[in-house]
């Protein structure tokens, strides 16, 4: 239980950073998507149920912040948590290439979902412009932050899992 509470607090902190701080840092061309990093890490390392739980939490926070139909981001993050949770069977803590591939796919999926349902439907067909100016910079900066955060997220979840199991005894 302690792990879930700490992870939710971490999600809220990451959301605040992503929305309130990162857009105002002048040398960042694109903002890293910390909620994607957290959702994919939790789903990939902890399983489908927790990936979906944290995906719903991240999605609700995004839905509350951005205008539009409520549930748009919740559905997206729920799917990201579910799909990454399905890959838990391939999770090895020492293996770093697969998490980067999974993060890249999650980030591209996130941006394609936004493009299709926010731009393409409104007849804005400049996909190459969107790809060059939004998707690629965001994928790159998110991968850099994944490199910085992924091991830390695994480490503290392992510590919290040990603390939770000691509390159960």
CATH number at residue 63: 1.10.1760
Angle between helices 34-46 and 48-65 (to 10 degrees): 160
The answer to whether residue 169 is domain-embedded is: no
Angle between helices 72-86 and 34-46 (to 10 degrees): 40
Q: Quick check: is 29 in a domain?
A: yes
Please give the residue range of the domain that contains residue 151.
2-163
Q: What is the mean pLDDT of residues 133-150?
A: 92
Question: In this structure, is residue 89 part of a structural domain?
Answer: yes
Q: Examine residue 91 and state whether it is found in any structural domain, yes or no.
A: yes
| pLDDT at 167 (0 to 100) | 67
Residue 168 belongs to a domain:
no
Q: What is the pLDDT of residues 87-122, one digit of tens each?
A: 988 887 778 888 899 999 999 999 999 999 988 888
- 2-16 vs 136-168: helix axis angle to the nearest 10? 160
Total length of the chain: 169
Does residue 149 lie within any of the structural domains? yes
Q: Residue 168: what pLDDT? A: 63
Is 79 contained in some domain?
Answer: yes
- Give the CA count within 13 Å in the CB-facing half-sphere of 117: 13
Give the global pTM: 0.90
pLDDT at 161: 84
Q: How many structural domains comprise the chain?
A: 1
- By C-alpha distance, which of 15, 7, 57 is closest to 157? 7
Query: Per-residue pLDDT for 10 more than 80?
Result: yes
């Amino acid at each position: 239980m302690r792990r879930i509470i700490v992870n939710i607090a971490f999600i809220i902190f990451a959301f605040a950073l992503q929305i309130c701080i990162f857009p105002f840092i002048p040398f960042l061309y694109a903002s890293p998507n910390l909620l994607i990093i957290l959702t994919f890490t939790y789903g990939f390392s902890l399983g489908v149920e927790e990936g979906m739980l944290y995906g719903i939490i991240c999605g609700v926070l995004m839905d509350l912040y951005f205008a539009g139909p409520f549930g748009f981001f919740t559905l997206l993050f729920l799917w990201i948590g579910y799909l990454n949770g399905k890959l838990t069977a391939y999770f090895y803590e020492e293996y770093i290439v697969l998490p980067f591939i999974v993060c890249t796919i999650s980030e591209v999926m996130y941006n394609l979902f936004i493009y299709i349902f926010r731009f393409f439907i409104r007849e804005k067909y400049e996909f190459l412009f969107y790809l060059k100016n939004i998707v690629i910079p965001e994928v790159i900066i998110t991968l850099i932050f994944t490199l910085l955060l992924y091991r830390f997220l695994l480490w503290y979840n392992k510590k919290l899992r040990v603390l939770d199991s000691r509390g159960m005894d």
